[in-house]
C-alpha cells in the first residue's frame, strides 16, 4: 500500500509540473497573440487611412467633373430655352396677325347693335353660352350613363339573385349530406374518445406511480448525499440527478475494485518473497555438493 501511495504521489507531482509548464506556455502564447493583434490593428489602421485619402481624392475629382457637366448641361438648357422662347414669340406674332381679322369683325358688330358696349362684353356672352351648352351636354351624357348603369345593375342583380337561390339549394343538399356524415363520424369519434379516455386514465395512473417511485428514489439519493442536492419537484430533473449519482457510484466502485486488485497483487508478491528466498537457500548446498 505504501508503494501504491508513493506512486500516486509521484504521479501527482509530475502532473502538477506538467500543468505548470502548460500554464507558462499558455501565458507566452497569450502575450504573442496580443502582440500579433496590436500589429494587425496598426496595419488595419494604416490601410483605412490610405483608403480614406484615396476615397476623398476620388470624391473631389468626381464632384469637380459632376459640377462641370452640370454647368455644361445648364448652358445647353439655357440655349434651348432661348430658342424655344424665340419660336414662341414668332408663333404668337403670327397668331396676333391672324386674330386681327376677328378683332375687326367684332368692332363692326358693335357698330351695328346697341346690346354690347365693348368687345369684351361680346366675348363674355360667348363664354357664358359656351359654358351653358357644355354643362347641358354633360348633364345629358351623365343622365344617359346613369340610365345605362342602372339597367346593367338591375340585370346583374336579377341574375345574381337567381344564382344565389340556386346555390343555396345546392348548399342545402350538400349540408344535409354533411350532416348525415357528421352524425356518423360523431358516433365513431365518441367511441374512440371513450377508448382514448380510458387509455389516458391508465397512463395517468402509471405516470403517477413512476413519479412517486422517482421521488422516493430521489429522496434516498438526497439522504445518502447528506441533503446536498437541491430539492426539485420536476421528474426529469430528479431522473438526471439519480442518473448522475448512479454513474458517480459506479465510477467509485470501479476505482475501488482496481485499487483492491493492485493491493492484492502487491501483497501476494510480498508474501511469496520469503518462500522464494528459502527455496534458493535450500538449493545452494545441493549445488555445492
The one-character DSSP state at 118 is S
Q: Average pLDDT of the chain? A: 78
Cα dihedral 198, 204, 209, 212 in deg (nearest 10):
-160
Question: Tell me: the pLDDT tens digits for 213-252?
Answer: 888 877 877 777 777 767 777 888 878 877 877 887 788 8
Is the full-model pTM beyond 0.85?
A: no
For residue range 91-125, what is the model confidence (pLDDT) as tens digits?
A: 887 887 777 777 777 777 777 777 776 767 777 87
What local confidence, expressed as pLDDT, does residue 233 receive?
A: 76
Nine-digit cell at 162? 337567381
CA distance 83 to 288: 144
What is the C-alpha separation between 114 and 122, in angstroms, rounded?
12
- Report d(CA 67, CA 75) in Å as an integer: 12
CA distance 27 to 35: 13
Q: Any residues with CB less than 8 A from the CB of 239 and at least 6 apart, and which?
A: 214
pLDDT tier for residue 265 given thresholds of 50, 70 and 90: low
Distance in angstroms (rounded) separating the CA atoms of residues 235 and 210: 9
Q: What is the 3-state secondary structure (H, E, C) of 133-161?
A: HHHHHHHHHHHHHHHHHHHHHHHHHHHHH
Q: Is the predicted pLDDT of residue 289 greater than 50, yes or no? A: no
Amino acid at each position: 500500500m505504501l508503494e501504491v501511495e508513493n506512486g500516486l504521489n509521484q504521479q501527482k507531482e509530475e502532473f502538477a509540473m506538467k500543468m505548470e509548464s502548460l500554464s507558462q506556455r499558455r501565458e507566452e502564447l497569450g502575450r504573442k497573440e496580443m502582440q500579433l493583434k496590436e500589429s494587425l490593428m496598426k496595419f488595419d489602421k494604416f490601410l483605412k487611412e490610405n483608403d480614406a485619402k484615396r476615397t476623398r481624392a476620388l470624391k473631389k475629382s468626381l464632384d469637380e467633373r459632376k459640377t462641370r457637366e452640370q454647368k455644361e448641361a445648364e448652358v445647353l438648357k439655357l440655349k434651348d430655352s432661348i430658342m424655344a422662347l424665340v419660336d414662341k414669340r414668332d408663333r404668337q406674332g403670327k397668331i396676333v396677325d391672324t386674330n386681327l381679322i376677328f378683332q375687326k369683325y367684332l368692332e363692326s358688330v358693335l357698330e351695328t347693335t346697341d346690346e354690347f358696349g365693348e368687345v369684351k362684353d361680346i366675348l363674355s356672352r360667348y363664354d357664358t353660352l359656351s359654358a351653358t351648352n357644355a354643362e347641358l351636354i354633360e348633364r345629358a351624357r351623365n343622365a344617359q350613363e346613369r340610365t345605362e348603369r342602372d339597367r346593367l345593375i338591375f340585370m346583374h342583380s336579377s341574375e345574381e339573385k337567381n344564382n344565389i337561390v340556386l346555390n343555396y339549394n345546392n348548399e342545402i343538399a350538400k349540408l344535409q349530406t354533411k350532416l348525415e356524415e357528421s352524425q356518423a363520424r360523431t358516433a365513431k369519434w365518441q367511441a374512440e374518445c371513450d377508448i382514448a379516455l380510458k387509455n389516458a386514465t391508465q397512463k395517468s395512473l402509471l405516470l403517477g406511480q413512476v413519479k412517486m417511485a422517482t421521488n422516493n428514489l430521489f429522496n434516498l439519493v438526497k439522504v445518502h448525499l447528506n441533503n446536498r442536492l437541491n430539492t426539485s419537484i420536476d421528474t426529469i430533473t430528479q431522473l438526471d440527478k439519480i442518473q448522475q449519482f448512479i454513474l458517480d457510484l459506479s465510477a467509485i466502485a470501479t476505482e475501488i475494485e482496481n485499487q483492491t486488485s493492485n493491493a492484492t497483487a502487491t501483497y501476494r508478491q510480498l508474501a511469496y518473497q520469503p518462500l522464494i528466498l528459502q527455496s534458493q537457500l535450500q538449493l545452494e548446498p545441493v549445488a555445492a555438493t
